[in-house]
């Protein structure tokens, strides 16, 4: 039975994969653009470009995992995603609260990461539901 992304258990997983691939590609290929949107000038701290590129490749790889794995590997990936995004949310909130990011950027990055955390939780539930539904009943 084929379900659309809007109603199927894979919707959150596919949405999270798309977000990860977009954000990861932007961080890897256009880190200057992202740093400026955060209110951080690369001229003040050039290491930020390096950090964004590391974030970018990590994010691309974990996004691809959601698209190309299945079974136990997919289940591990979505569970790991919850920890990754919850950690990102905490880091963003702490950076905003401590003044390491401008207030608006702190709120924005925290909200984006929190959304990703919620999608990761929903993706995990969707994968678990799909696994239950694929078990033949006698």
Which pLDDT does position 1 carry in this prediction?
A: 41
pLDDT of residue 138: 56
What was the pLDDT predicted at 79? 93
Nearest to 117 by CA among 94, 87, 91, 95: 87
Q: What does the pLDDT read at residue 45?
A: 79
User: What is the model's pLDDT at position 136?
Assistant: 61
Q: pLDDT, tens digit, for every residue of 34-85?
A: 888 888 888 887 888 999 999 999 999 999 999 999 999 999 999 999 999 9
pTM of the model: 0.84
């Amino acid at each position: 039975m084929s379900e659309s992304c809007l109603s199927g258990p894979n919707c959150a997983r596919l949405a999270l994969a798309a977000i990860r691939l977009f954000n990861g590609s932007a961080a890897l290929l256009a880190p200057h653009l992202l740093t400026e949107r955060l209110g951080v000038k690369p001229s003040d701290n050039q290491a930020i470009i390096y950090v964004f590129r590391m974030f970018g490749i990590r994010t691309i790889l974990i996004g691809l995992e959601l698209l190309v794995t299945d079974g136990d590997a997919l289940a591990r990936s979505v569970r790991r995603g919850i920890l990754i995004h919850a950690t990102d949310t905490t880091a963003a909130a702490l950076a905003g609260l401590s003044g390491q990011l401008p207030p608006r950027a702190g709120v924005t990055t925290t909200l984006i990461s929190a959304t990703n955390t919620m999608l990761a939780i929903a993706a995990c539930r969707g994968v678990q539901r799909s696994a239950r539904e694929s078990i033949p009943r006698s």
